[in-house]
Every structure is written in structure tokens, then in C-alpha cells.
Amino acid sequence: MVSIAKAIDSGGSMHVVLLPWLAFGHIIPFTVLAKRIARQGHRVTLLSTPRNTRRLIHVPPDLAALIRVVDVPLPRVEHLPEGAEASIDLPSDDLRPYLRLAYDAAFAPALSDILQPPPPPPESPWRRPDWVLTDYAAYWAPEAAARHGVPCAYVSLYCAAALAFFGEPDALMGRGRHAKASPEDLTVVPDFVPFPTAVAFRGHEARGMFAPLTVPDDVSGVAELYRSGMSIAGSQVVGIRSSDEFEPEWLRLLGELYQKPVIPLGLFPPLPPPPPTQDVTAVAGGHEAALRWLDGQAPGSVVYAAFGSEAKLTTPQLEAIALGLEASGLPFLWAFRAPGSGDAGEGGLPEGFEERVTGRGVVCRGWVPQVRFLAHGSVGAFLTHAGWNSVTEGLARGVKLVMLPLMFDQGLNARHLVEKKMGVEVERDEEDGSFAPRDIAAALRRVMVEDEGEELGIE
């Protein structure tokens, strides 16, 4: 990985502030980045909330003197459930604006406090920050940093193709001819892309995503894309969780669109983590049993299925996935989350499903050690929502990707990876996005049984 700290370093040790959004898929990679920056001798202040600190952020003893984790409590916000400190804690996506409101209200002043120069004499090693590294959501961070003479870098946890699809910062903020003015604009490759590609959203994806992405919500008053545009426009440097080897053409395009340095940071997949504390949502036992079951399977024979912490799958979707796994005839390990909830539960599975697949399939509920599962020699394919965190973990372990995108950038990722011959996508109804068990089974067998799996460029 090319470290962003090294890329922007002017010599000597620095103090870098990291400001991730309140989602597992953002806090975890920012924590990995914090450790990698600290291992180069720089000091890192990482901001999160108390509950997220307990369940996600583990600082190894050898880095304890270089990484400072600052807990930022969220204010009480009407309609935000008690204890909801990350998107996984929200029972409905309709509550995301309330989490954004709480985030803005708590983290903007917390960052301003950290940016204040320490009183003389500056005896503390935690001097005023040299850089702020911000996620997309903290659209106010670049301006706050600039007021104190501190440069800001935007760290994208999305690949270059997905980010470039939306155009320059003005377009993200809804201005200029490249702004996405209708759902149809999301379904076509932008005319500024100078090479052939199919990276665009399907119609059903665009219709579901257009308003949440582009329209200011009634709570925080700021649209999702606007946050990204402001964060990018105000930053001096943009870091992308990607590599020149993977998507050089998209990285070049992104530099032309942004007219500022765009630095590929590498994929930095995490090493297998220690188990989280019991505060993680619905932690369940049985993982050692699942690993023992994997030990008994043939090398590369198992499908690992998981769909991230953000998507709230419906009962019909979960039942189609279950029946598809059953119909594939392949051994599988499924990180199951109950429909429409972050809590483990019994709903969402067809009657008698677990009994019928006993011995061939394992269903794990609650938190699972995904990186450990993917690293196991018996796992050969990953049935995934194509979230960029999961994709990077799968690619790092050399498993074949079978993608069922559900939200956000996932459709763009899936098309991008199919073009790169690094995975296949489950066929869907183009109008409503529905899929049947046969579609799941067919995609799995394409990579695990048929010749197509041998052609994927994954090692």
C-alpha cells in the first residue's frame, strides 16, 4: 500500500486526524489505515463514538502510544433509537438522516476542538494536527481544517470507477451539465468517460437510489452526494482505496476530473481480527464449530455467503437466496442476518431449510469472523453484495466473487469487476431487480462447477 501519510509527508513525524462515518464498513477500514499510518511513526487521532470504539476499534499494544481514540458521544436526536451509533443499529434506512444529523452535531465541534493549538508550552506529543483525513460524510471538515491552517485529505472507501461515475465535485453537488438530474442519468455511462465500459446503474437500482443520493433530506438538510462533493472540493489530496494495477484508467480519469492529486492507497484488507466484545449486535457462538466444519470440506469447495452490515434484506430475498444455495448442490457457509434488522433471528428462512441442508450447509447468526472464513482454504467462492469492503477482503483471499448488489455503489462495483473478469453477477429482472433461486444457483455453479470459474482473473 502507498501510505497517504508518506505521500503527503514533508518530513518528520506528523499528527493525523481520521474522521470516519458511523458505519462498520467505514470505521473498520479507517482503523486499518490508522494502524498503517502509525506503523510509519506518525501519531493518529481516530474519532468515533463510545459504542463503536468498544466493538470495532482494537489498538495493539505496540501502537498504543501512537494511536489516540477519541470517543465522541452523540446527542439525543428525536426518532434515533437509543444506543444507535452506527448504521447497523438502525431498524430502517428511513432513520439514516437522523444518524447524519447526530453525527454533524457531535463531530463538527469535536474536530474544531482538536484543531485548536494547544496552550503553551506544547508539552503534549499530541500537538495540533498536521492533516485531517476525512470520510465522505464530514462535509464540514475541510472548511474547519482550513480555518486553522490545516490541510485536509479526502479518503474514499469506494473504488475509482464508482467515484468517477458521478463526475467532478460540482456534479456531486448538483451543479453543471454532469449533475445527475434524474434516475435515467444514473443508468448511462457519462460522456466524459473516454473508454468503453458498462459501469452504470440498472434501472431498478437508479430508481431506488436517486432521491436518497441527490435530494437533501428533511432532517440534516444535506444530500449524500453533496456531502461527498464538498469533502472532495475542499480537500488538497484525494486518496482512493484502490491500486494502479486494478483500475489505472479510472484513476487517471479521476485526477482529470478533480484537478488535484489522486493517490491510490491500495486495498489494505484487514488481517483476521480478534473477536469483538459482547456489545456487537447479536453476537452468537458457534464460530469455532463453523471453522471445524470448514476444516472437513474439500479445498476451494465451499461458498461463503454474506451481504454486509448495511442492507436490510426482505424475507422474499432471503428465501430466494436460501433456496438458491440449496439448489446449487454446493457446500456453503452463510452469515445470516434476519430480514430488515441488524439483530439475529429466525425469520427469513424457508420452512425446513436448515434441516434439509444439514451437513452440507451452515447458517451462522449474529457477528461472524468474515476475514477468517474467507481466508480458510476450503472457501472457493464468495456470494456477496459487492460492497467495496467485502470485495477487497474477497480479492485478498483469492476467492471467486458472485455478486448480488443491493444498494449504494454496489451495482457499479459489480459491473466493474465483471469487466475486469474478477467475478460474475447474479441475473436479475431488469424492471424490478427481483431474482429467483435458480438465478442464485446458476451464478454459483458458473464459477464453482463450470468452465467460467477457471477464466476469472483471481489468484
The DSSP line for 413-456 is HHHHHHHTTSEEE----TTT----HHHHHHHHHHHHTSTHHHHS
User: Who's near 281: CB < 8 A, 6+ residues apart?
Assistant: 88, 89, 342, 343, 344, 366, 367
Rounded CA separation 389/30 (Å): 11
327, 437 Cβ separation under 8 angstroms: yes
pLDDT in tens, 47-88: 999 999 999 999 999 999 999 999 999 999 999 999 999 998
pLDDT of residue 275: 46
| Alpha-carbon distances, residue 141 vs 49, 67, 136, 144 (angstroms) | 17, 20, 10, 5
240 confidence band (pLDDT: 50, 70, 90): very high
CA 449, distance to chain mean position in Å, is 29
Rounded CA separation 116/128 (Å): 7
| Alpha-carbon distances, residue 34 vs 22, 51, 79 (angstroms) | 16, 19, 32
pLDDT of residue 282: 37
pLDDT of residue 120: 60
pLDDT of residue 47: 97
pLDDT of residue 445: 94
* Tally: H helices and E strands in the chain: 18, 13
Q: Where would I find the H helices in 134-202?
A: 141-147, 160-165, 169-172
pLDDT of residue 340: 60
Neighbours of 191 (CB within 10 A): 8
Helix (H) or strand (E) holding 264: strand 262-264
pLDDT of residue 310: 80
DSSP 71: E
Q: What mean pLDDT is predicted for residues 341-356?
A: 72
Mean confidence (pLDDT) of the chain? 88
Rounded to 5 degrees, φ, ψ at 264 are: -70, 125
Strand ranges in 55-126 using DSSP code E only, listed in sequence order: 67-71
User: Who's near 207: CB < 8 A, 6+ residues apart?
Assistant: 183
Strand ranges in 329-373 using DSSP code E only, listed in sequence order: 332-336, 361-365
Neighbours of 372 (CB within 10 A): 16
| Alpha-carbon torsion (371, 373, 377, 382), positive or negative | negative
Q: What mean pLDDT is predicted for residues 436-444?
A: 96
Percent of the chain with pLDDT over 70: 88
**SS3 category, 352:** coil
Rounded to 5 degrees, φ, ψ at 326 are: -65, -45
132, 111 Cβ separation under 8 angstroms: yes
333, amino acid identity: L
Sheet holding 302-306, edge to edge: 361-365, 332-336, 302-306, 379-384, 400-403, 423-425
pLDDT of residue 284: 39
285 confidence band (pLDDT: 50, 70, 90): very low
Strand ranges in 89-244 using DSSP code E only, listed in sequence order: 131-134, 152-156, 237-240
Q: What mean pLDDT is predicted for residues 126-141?
A: 93
Percent of the chain with pLDDT over 90: 73
| Stated length of the chain | 459
103 confidence band (pLDDT: 50, 70, 90): very high
**SS3 category, 15:** strand
CA 134, distance to chain mean position in Å, is 15
